[in-house]
Amino acid sequence: MEPSNLALFWAGAIALSIIVYVILDGFDLGVGVLFGTTNEDTKRVQMMNAVAPFWDGNETWLVIIGASLFAAFPVVYAVFLSAFYLPVLLLLFGLIFRGVAFEFRNRAGSMRWFWDRGLFLGSVVVAFVQGAAIGAMMRGIPVVNGQYAGDAFGWLHPFSVLTGIGLVLGYALLGAGWLVLKSEGTLRTWAYARIPWLVAGVFIVLGLAFFVSVTVDAGAIAQSNLRDRHWGLVFPLLAAAALVGVVVSARAKRDDLPFPLTVLFFLASYVTLGVMFWPYMVPYSITVANAAAPDASLGFIFYGGVIVLPVIFLYSTGVYYIFRGKDRKGYG
């Protein structure tokens, strides 16, 4: 059964929204992770200023993903919530606590330490559960009669734990690249010094994840379509090359390269997942065609989508254009 054009449109819109969210919210989550690795209040204030105009707007794309799934692919929405009930709760708690901490820390006085730790821990938790969910999807989600057939901790495996740690490090690398791009002085130097270590950490975790996927947790990636699509191997190779480029550009002190090269790493990794999963929306149980709502429903929400999605895109683009360049005077 082939998906309709409307189903393909909404699958594409959701796929695009996911990668936009990962990149945009990824760098400010990464800054939040790095925030907890220094005790210098001056650096912490500069970090918050570097993401202040962007962080809340970045999360708009997460709302788009959830709303689009609910309307266009209700079966996928139901299965995902059932499979990742605990991770979704942790994600929401982390985002809420992180947002409150962002606003409260400057007015907290003696309780600033509490909100500082909340900002750091909220960022780590959000990044980890997103990465763990990706790892669980790579292993495959059991579905029977259109319903999730696993238990509440079915997402928690050695492979998914490693992918969770990997995404924390990957987001931190995005955050370091963003700080290099937007800051000057001691914070820029500080961020540069952490880039090689973060790249090494990502490589180590990826290597461990691959080892686990062929030994301890042999269910991981065994069902993927990558085995039959050897041409798709070019994308993980591109991802590895992008990471090497991040280190080279950091050593050359090229402020404009570490962040876009890290974005290229995420894009190549994301396309690799697409090669592995397609045509499944719930790997490896429910395809795009089987999950789509009736065409009448997809057509109804299509008219809203072609208005709302461009408006949000233009709004996001406008914010990044207005606050382009180095953070010399402070955005906070």
For residues 195 and 201, give the distance between their C-alpha atoms in angstroms, rounded to a whole number: 10
CA dihedral 64, 66, 67, 72 (to 10 degrees): 110
In three-state secondary structure terms, 127 is helix
319, 53 contact by CB (below 8 A): yes
**Would you say 92 and 311 are in contact if contact means Cβ atoms under 8 Å apart?**
no
* Residue 329: per-residue pLDDT: 57
pLDDT at 231: 79
CB 287 within 8 A of CB 226: no
pLDDT of residue 270: 94
pLDDT tens digits along 120-173: 999 999 999 999 999 888 888 888 887 888 888 888 888 889 999 999 999 999
pLDDT in tens, 98-128: 888 888 877 767 788 888 888 899 999 999 9
Distance separating alpha carbons of residues 33 and 175, to the nearest angstrom? 8
pLDDT along the chain (332 residues), means of 10: 86 93 92 90 87 83 89 90 90 89 78 86 94 88 83 85 94 95 90 94 91 73 69 87 94 90 95 88 86 88 88 89 73 48
Q: Where are the beta strands (DSSP E) in the chain?
A: 143-144, 147-148, 280-282, 286-287
Tokens 């509440």 sit on residue = 152
The pair of structure tokens assigned to 306 is: 């072609």
- Which is it for the CA torsion 262, 263, 264, 268, positive or negative? positive
Model confidence pTM above 0.75: yes
Amino acid at 68: S
Q: How far apart are CA 143 and CA 150, in angstroms?
A: 8
Nearest 5 degrees, angle CA 259-CA 261-CA 267?
105
Q: What pLDDT does 220 receive? A: 61
Residue 45, token pair as written in the block: 């204030």
Q: Which of 259, 268, 309 is nearest to 51 (CA)?
A: 259
Three-state DSSP state, 327: coil
Note if the bond before 284 is cis, omega within 30 degrees.
yes
| Exposure string over 26-54, b if 16+ CB within 10 A, otherwise e | bbbbbbbbbbbeeeeeebbebbbbbbbeb
Can you give the pLDDT at residue 129? 94
Q: In sequence order, what are the beta bridge partners of 282?
A: 286
Structure tokens belonging to residue 51: 């993401």
Instruction: Give the C-alpha separation, 332 to 313, whole Å.
Output: 23
pLDDT of residue 328: 58
pLDDT of residue 211: 86
Q: How far apart are CA 172 and CA 163, in angstroms?
A: 14
Could you tell me where the DSSP H helices lie in the chain? 5-35, 41-51, 55-58, 60-72, 74-83, 85-104, 112-139, 158-182, 185-213, 234-251, 258-277, 288-291, 295-322
Instruction: Please name each of the domains of the chain with its CATH number.
Output: 7-322 (1.20.1630)
